[in-house]
Amino acid sequence: MLLVLLIVFIAQNQVTVPLRYFGLDGTVNLGLALLVAAVAGGFVVAAVGGARILQLRAQARGAGRKTRRPR
């Protein structure tokens, strides 16, 4: 279902728009540009979220060592 919606979205946004990015110039379809931007944003959010989860796990592991009683 999501794939069908994605295909419809790209098909309805076939307007060509100019794209300038760090000195690179070109034209691209609007639907494709928005799709690439959304996917890139998702990767950034996943990377930041994953880093935060690892940070919290390390913090919890460190706190667990401090609260244990020696044998």
- Digit-by-digit pLDDT tens for the chain (71 residues) are 877 888 888 888 888 989 888 888 999 888 888 888 888 999 999 999 999 999 999 999 887 776 666 66
Judged by DSSP in three states, 22 sits in coil
**Rounded-to-10 torsion of CA 15, 18, 21, 25:** 130
Distance separating alpha carbons of residues 68 and 22, to the nearest angstrom: 53
pTM for the full predicted model = 0.67
